[in-house]
Amino acid sequence: MKRVVFAAVLLLLLSCKKEVKEPAEPENDHIEVVNFSELEKLLQEQEEEVLLVNFWATWCKPCVEEMPYFEEVHDSLAGPDLKVILVSLDFPDKLESQVIPFVRNKGLEPQVILLDDPHENDWIPKVDSTWSGAIPATLFLKEGKRKFFEKSFTRTSLFSEVSKFINP
């Protein structure tokens, strides 16, 4: 067992290679702005079995730092069974001036949604009862199962948490 785990983790580490990114799909030039109940509905409607929902903002340095890892998860794992959704908590008046240019410049491919809901004290506990409201924060969802992280990820920690979640 130990050997298998070591081998798996080593393999994961050795597969560190950076691929050249294609420019973002044009669909990310339009970013949907939703309130929390619309976001909940949107998450329920997704067909993918596993959803990785990352709460971030362009002004949040650790969020921006971990963004490439979510892109990498999207590149290597997204498909009919798994989807990465990036929920921006930027101020709504910064959508045109900050969020869209950021998404375009980085060539972000996962779906980006802007959550505009001032009633934070109402919706934060609905994302997770333990969330204080600090970002970055990430929610993993899979058929009623959920795991929440109020922290930033390294590449290794994100991949290991994702694989633990998908194959417990």
Partner 1 sequence: MKNRNYFALLFAISLTTIFTVFAFTGTDTSLDRFIVSYNIGDKAEDFSLKNIDGKMVSLSDFKQAKGFIVIFTCNTCPYSVANEDRIIELDKKYKPKGFPVIAINPNNPEASPGDSFELMQARAAEKGFTFPYLLDEGQKVYPEYGATKTPHVFVLEKEDKDLIVKYIGAIDDSSRDPGSVTKKYVENAVDALLANQPIEMVSTRAIGCGIKN
Minimum distance, C-beta of residue 160 to partner 1, in the bound complex (Å)? 5
Minimum distance, C-beta of residue 165 to partner 1, in the bound complex (Å)? 13
Contact 135, 45 (CB under 8 A): no
CA 94 to CA 47: how far, in whole Å? 30
Q: 102 Cβ partners below 8 Å, 6+ apart?
A: 58, 108
Tell which one of 33, 42, 68, 91 touches partner 1 (CB under 8 A). 91
Minimum distance, C-beta of residue 146 to partner 1, in the bound complex (Å)? 18
Contact flag: residue 97 with partner 1 (CB under 8 A): no
Binding residues for partner 1 restricted to 17-76, rule: CB under 8 A? 57, 59-62, 65
18 or 23, CB closer to partner 1? 18
CA 77 to CA 164: how far, in whole Å? 14
Q: 77 Cβ partners below 8 Å, 6+ apart?
A: 162
CA 139 to CA 24: how far, in whole Å? 24
Tokens read off for 93: 């008046």
Binding residues for partner 1 restricted to 104-123, rule: CB under 8 A? 118-121
Strand partners, 34: 115
Q: Determine the interface stretch with partner 1 among 4-12, 38-46, 73-81, 100-108 (rule: CB under 8 A).
A: 4-12
Supply the DSSP symbol for 52: E
Q: Determine the interface stretch with partner 1 among 22-30, 37-45, 73-81, 147-155 (rule: CB under 8 A).
A: 147-155
Q: Look at residues 48, 66, 61, 57 and name the one whose alpha carbon lies nearest to residue 140.
A: 48
69 or 71, CB closer to partner 1? 69
Binding site for partner 1 (CB under 8 A): 1-2, 5-6, 9-10, 13, 57, 59-62, 65, 89, 91, 118-121, 124-125, 131-136, 150-157, 160
